[in-house]
Amino acid sequence: TMQAPRKLASYIHRIGVVGPEDADRLGRELAARAGVEEVAVDPEAGVAYLKVDRQVFDAGSLPGGRS
Calculate the alpha carbon distances from 67 to 6, 36, 40, 41 in Å.
Answer: 23, 14, 15, 14
Residue 48: predicted pLDDT: 96
Residue 61: predicted pLDDT: 82
Contact criterion met (CB below 8 Å) for 46 and 14: yes
Render pLDDT for 17-62 as a digit per residue (tens, 0 to 9).
Answer: 999 999 999 999 999 999 999 999 999 999 999 999 999 999 888 8
More confident residue, 67 or 36: 36
Contact criterion met (CB below 8 Å) for 38 and 20: no
- Distance CA(41)–CA(26), nearest Å, equals 8
Residue 66: predicted pLDDT: 53
